Amino acid sequence: MQASSSAAAPLTDPFGRTVSYLRVSVTDRCDLRCVYCMAEDMTFLPKKDILTLEEIDRLCGAFIALGTDKIRLTGGEPLVRKGVMTLVQTLGARIGAGGLRELTVTTNGTQLTKMAGELYAAGVRRINVSMDTLDPATFAAVTRWGKLEQTMDGIFAAKAAGLAVKINAVALKGVNEDEFDRMVAWCGEHGFDLCLIETMPMGEIGEDRTDQYLPLSLVRSRLRQSWTLEESDYRTGGPARYVTVKETGRRIGFITPMTHNFCESCNRVRLTCTGTLYMCLGQDDAAEFRSLLRDPSVDEAGLAQAIRDAIARKPKGHDFVIDRRRNRPAVARHMSLTGG
């Protein structure tokens, strides 16, 4: 009903950045326990604290009415949430003129053999699949509970369904650091882009972060010894900086929150599965939407105003540091709550 407000005033933050991209964590749960993301004995949130799929859809609709044209579903593992495909379908129905330009998903791939076709049918065209290694034993060690074969089967099911796949890999010192040449070649062979991610200090995970941190500047200079990396001005509005690998024609993105500041072009905000909107991945300031969504006196106009008020508080940037002295994360919440 509020469609008129979208044409009138897009969501713009105090630094002139237009916010058009919403990342939505649909669950904090996951069927894996990646070492950089979760402790093995995670306690998950009670169901009553989690937004229903209808509440998520309503809030997404309010963002879309204010000009949001890209939504990414993430988690936790978004595809293990019961009934998630109904949300994908209702959001998919919002793709088109005046609505969403793109609906995407970030997944660990375990459910893709079952769900890739349905994702495509709902309007999803690109997905990110996290796979940090091509080695089955390393994969089992990094994900604790995962099987490489299951994720690989998922990736190929996605490709067969017509989805463009980007592989996400977190760079981990002493774990997968000698594998990137092979991964670049493998992605080239199968037609996937690759995104390398530096570890971010988010949430207590029961391990020493400084042991895992591998600067991508180092990875990049090592890759240059085997590949011709051509600078690219390709941008997704996100923190990744891209190069094109001349030999394969595929892109490699580098997400470097620790060594490089990507905040100046930030166009995104993040919604947790409990309805908390974080205006910046690296800052604690947040706006609560769950109580508004559950308050019968708050109508669509009220929701729209609350979104505008939140965006007006979007900070200029983040300040990630691995606190070596106290070995504490810079941001206490887990990535699985905010979504990667």
Q: Is 36 in the site for ligand SAM (CB under 6 A)?
A: yes
Q: Which residue has the tokens 């490699």?
A: 252
| Cβ closest to ligand SAM, residue 81 vs residue 304 | 81
313 vs 10, 15, 24, 167, CA distance in Å?
A: 15, 10, 19, 33
- The interface partner of residue 38, options being ligand SF4, ligand SAM, none and the CB cut-off 5 to 8 Å by kind, is ligand SF4
In the set 30, 59, 197, 258, which binds ligand SF4 (CB under 6 A)? 30
Candidate ranges 32-40, 113-121, 178-186, 250-258; the one touching ligand SF4 (CB under 6 A): 32-40
**Residue from 4, 9, 23 nearest 238 by CA:** 23
CA distance 333 to 281: 10
Query: Which of these segments, 9-17, 103-111, 180-188, 310-318, binds ligand SAM (CB under 6 A)?
Result: 103-111
Does 69 bind ligand SAM (CB under 6 A)? Our answer is no
Indicate the residue type of 139.
Answer: F
Residues between 209 and 238 that touch ligand SF4 (CB under 6 A):
none
The residue type of 314 is K
* Helical H segments across the chain, by residue range: 3-8, 53-65, 84-92, 112-121, 136-143, 148-161, 180-190, 209-212, 216-223, 290-293, 300-311, 335-338
DSSP 3-state of 139: helix
Binding site for ligand SAM (CB under 6 A): 30, 36-37, 74-75, 77, 106-108, 130, 168, 170, 197, 199-200, 202, 335-336, 339-340
Binding site for ligand SF4 (CB under 6 A): 30, 32-34, 37-38, 75-77, 108, 130, 336
Sequence ranges of the binding site: 23, 30, 34, 36-37, 72, 76, 106, 130, 166, 200, 263, 266, 268-270, 280
